[in-house]
Structure formats: C-alpha cells, structure tokens
Amino acid sequence: MGVGNYFDAGEEGFIELLLSSDDPSLAGVTLEKLKQGPVATRPPETISSATEAKFSTRSRKIEFYVEDLQKYGQALPIYIEPLEAGRGKYPLTYIQGHSRFRTHSMFANSPTLLELNPEPVLDINPRDAKNRGVSDGDMVTVFNDRGRATLRARVTEGIRPGVVNLSEGWWLNQFSEGGVNALTHDAINPVQEAIFEPNMAMNDVAVEVTKAGA
C-alpha cells in the first residue's frame, strides 16, 4: 500500500486512523513511510492447504454452472431486464456506492471522518445538472414514487450521464430530508434468496432530480 499522489493532506487524519489498528498486517507501516512510496504489508494468515477450503455449494466447490438454479433458468449467468432503471417516467438511474470513510453506517458520526466527508452529496453529471438548472453545491431533491431525499449536489464528470450516486451509510439525521433508502424498492431477487440470503437490486432504481424548492 502507498499514499503517493492518491491522498491529499486533508486526508492524512483518515490514513492515520487506519494505521492505528492493532492488526499485525500493518506492523511497521507509518504515514511517513507511505509518503515516500509503497510499503509492503504482512500477508494475512492463510489456511495450510487448499483442500481445507469448502464452499456452501452442493459440490462443496466453486460452481460456474449452478444446478440448483435450473428451475429459475439461471444455471448459467443470463441477462435480465431491469425492474426500473432506464425505464418509465423517471429518467435517472440511482445507485448507492460505498464510501471509503465508513463501513456501511458505522463511523458516520465520527468527528474526525466528518471533517473529511462532512455531509451526504448527490453525484450528478454536468450534462444532467445543466438540464435541470443545478450547479455544484446546490441543494437538490432526488425523488420517485416511493419517497424523496434532499441534500447537496456534487457536479462531477466522475459519474456518467443518466446516473446519480448517493453513497450508502449516512444516517437519516444527516439529510435535510429523507435518506438513502427512502428511494429504494424491496423487490427480492429469488435467485439470490435460493443460494445465499434475501437481497434486492439496490442499483436498479429510477429517480428524478430537481433543484430544492423549485
């Protein structure tokens, strides 16, 4: 791992917080060493033999063809039409990326991390922002038929046109209105439930964005 040009000075506190861990893999790693270049970390302990690795599949091995999913027509990967994204009256695909400043909602109230990442923001492409009269730093409302959230916009080329991102893990009291999951659906993927645990397509969500108060 190495800092190099990937982190600016304002993020040093976050790096030092990571390095304060007692994890043996980080022994000897310091911020000063990282500023000079990559630093090797200790490899994690591994199992003594590959034969000890067992999976929860019927064969107890990695399965590229999953016989248990034949009844769903998905023994092999297939394309499935989106439930919402790119369809219907809401033109923007709403995704919820993961932040490097939190583990889901853990540490969302850390004063140190909030100095680096103080509030939820909605990433929106300049083309989509211009079409909606939104400038960088404006308060915006993102909404669909299920709910709405109001927060600050970050206009960036880092998100593709037609997509907006609101990082998951923020607490409800950190929004001016609503929250991340005010907009998501709860349609369960039966294939996911059959082989692992109930889950849903968090990034298959359609929304619209307007300037707050417009």
Give the range of the structural domain holding residue 35, as residue numbers without chain letter. Answer: 1-46
Task: Mark whether 182 and 98 lie in a shared domain.
Answer: yes
Q: What is the pLDDT of residues 129-147, one digit of tens each?
A: 999 999 999 999 999 999 9
More confident site: 87 or 100: 100
Task: Mark whether 207 and 111 lie in a shared domain.
Answer: yes
Task: Mark whether 118 and 24 lie in a shared domain.
Answer: no
Other Cβ atoms less than 10 A from the Cβ of 12: the count is 15
Average pLDDT of the residues of the chain: 86
Region 181-203 average pLDDT: 84
Task: Mark whether 31 and 99 lie in a shared domain.
Answer: no
* % of the chain beyond a pLDDT of 70: 90
Range name among 37-46, 96-105, 127-136, 155-164 with the lowest pLDDT average: 37-46
What tokens appear for 58 in the block?
């019927």
pLDDT at 194 over 90: no
Instruction: Quote the pLDDT of residue 22.
Output: 78
Instruction: Quote the pLDDT of residue 151.
Output: 97
Task: Mark whether 33 and 106 lie in a shared domain.
Answer: no
Instruction: Quote the pLDDT of residue 1.
Output: 41
Going by their DSSP bridges, the two strands 148-155 and 139-143 should be labelled as antiparallel
Q: Give the pLDDT band of residue 55 (cuts 50, 70, 90).
A: confident
Total domains in the chain come to 2
* Domain assignment present for 7: yes
Q: What is the pLDDT of residues 56-74, one digit of tens each?
A: 788 888 889 988 889 889 9
What tokens appear for 159 in the block?
């998100």
Tokens 């990034």 locate to 203
* Domain assignment present for 149: yes
Distance CA 170, CA 20 (A): 24
Identify any residues that bridge with 188 across adjacent strands, giving them in sequence order. 200
Distance CA 136, CA 124 (A): 9
Q: Give the pLDDT band of residue 53 (cuts 50, 70, 90).
A: low
| Phi, psi torsion values for 4, nearest 5 degrees | 50, -130
pLDDT at 52 over 70: no
Distance CA 92, CA 94 (A): 6
* Domain assignment present for 65: no
Q: Radius of gyration (Cα) for the chain, nearest Å?
A: 21
pLDDT at 50 over 50: yes
Instruction: Quote the pLDDT of residue 5.
Output: 46
Region 72-81 average pLDDT: 90
More confident site: 174 or 24: 174
* Domain assignment present for 66: no
